[in-house]
Chains A and B, each alone.
Chain A
């Protein structure tokens, strides 16, 4: 099929093969098909190529030649040929209607080719317009837009930082670190409950203790002393110890309630 030659007569001139400028080896036919944007494009090519009068298209010649191309397409790429086949049907229909005897009163504008001619001319106009658009200078290609650098281009302005700000921030970090340290000790190493147990254990061994003896002010830090004091209060609250004092400013004694 691909080897078959097409016999087309255009204005008396017989064409027996694909025009040279269109010839592509059969295995590359798909590529060649892609060079046409559709049946209108192919028809326009044939009309322009053979210098046919678009306003007086020789339907038989054009249809035969068009069919020659479409036959080749069908063999290769059926789905692509659908649009082309529709056009074939239209061409044949127009040709058939032209063969019918015209009633005398039919006016000139009722030429069966009129709609095809209108579509071809419309398509050609769009095709030329597209070429013109494509050739126009465009931003990103021929047009360079000025864009001097200014910070607002990045929209988000970074805040300014002075040396004073930095020093202030460092001081805050130190302050918070100190607080955290104490707090951490309180939670990690000291627990009121733990101290309560220790105090009870000592009271069990020694019976009676002076309040001050429960505080090792030399070796223990303030936090630990505070927790110790809290533990004593908690023990008293729970009724596990008894706190006594004979008079104002006299020593305070602590003993377990059980020891009585």
Chain B
């Protein structure tokens, strides 16, 4: 084993690591590959080059909340889906609305969620989202009962291909603008 001497070798090491990781690799993790001999800025530059090199191939190098990962280009997803005919069951409207409230209004308590949806929160809904590791408890609100404050996790962003909450569709899109006016 010899340490990489040029840009090409460094990119090959990065590529091998990213392809075999199976989950996003953070910049810190990728720096370990070079045993402290790599600057963050250089690493970013190499990742940009790697991304460009894969443009015409079958995978995209994308950045999500936890780091970088390779994923199949969107045009193949329908073919790949045929390998796993059992599609993931859809979440109920209650689950999705609760998730939307936590995503856009976090950190929120169960009471906040009930206030917005106008109905009691089924504990099952919260549990489903926690089991998916999309939400977790980030603290307690200092009011009687100290209710848990829920927030979305990095995995939620990863699974939706997002780098940060800022990349969610803007909330303003849903308020006012889409409200049809009466005639």
Contacts and interface: CB of A to CB of B under 8 A. Distances in A.
Interface of A: 37-41, 48, 51-54, 56, 83, 87, 119, 121-134, 136-150, 152-153
A133 B97 CA distance: 9
Contacts of B117: 37-38, 40, 123, 126
Interface in B52-76: 59, 69-72, 74, 76
A53 B181 CA distance: 6
Interface string B108-122: 000000001111100
20 contacts: A37-B94, A38-B117, A38-B119, A53-B182, A83-B118, A83-B120, A119-B116, A119-B118, A122-B175, A126-B97, A126-B116, A129-B104, A132-B174, A133-B100, A133-B160, A138-B160, A140-B159, A143-B161, A148-B19, A153-B20
Contacts of B161: 136-139, 143
Given A54-B179, A119-B118, 10 more contacts: A37-B97, A38-B118, A51-B183, A128-B174, A129-B100, A130-B93, A133-B168, A140-B88, A142-B74, A143-B161
Contacts, number: 134
A126 B104 CA distance: 8
A130 B100 contact: yes
Contacts of B99: 130, 133
A136 to B, nearest CB: 5
Contacts of A40: 117-118
B77 A143 contact: yes
Interface string B136-171: 000000000000000000000011110000001101
Interface string B80-102: 11000001101101101101110
Contacts of B80: 144
In order of increasing CB-CB distance, the 3 nearest A-B pairs are: A53-B182, A38-B119, A150-B20
Nearest to B18: A146
A129 B181 contact: no
Contacts of A122: 116, 175
A124 B174 CA distance: 8
A121 B179 CA distance: 8
A37 B180 contact: no
A237 B39 CA distance: 82
Given A51-B183, A142-B77, A143-B71, A123 B20 contact: no
Nearest to B73: A144
B182 A52 contact: yes
Contact of B22 (A123, A132, A134, A153): A153
Contacts of B119: 37-39, 83
Given A53-B182, A139-B159, A133 B103 contact: yes
Nearest to A134: B96
B96 A130 contact: yes
A51 B182 contact: yes
B8 interface: no
A125 B174 contact: yes
B100 A124 contact: no
Contacts of B5: none
Nearest to A79: B120
B128 to A, nearest CB: 14
Contacts of B173: 128, 132
A210 B88 CA distance: 93
A33 B166 CA distance: 35
A39 B23 CA distance: 42
Given A53-B181, A127-B97, A148-B20, A134 B91 contact: yes
Contacts of B6: none
B160 A141 contact: no
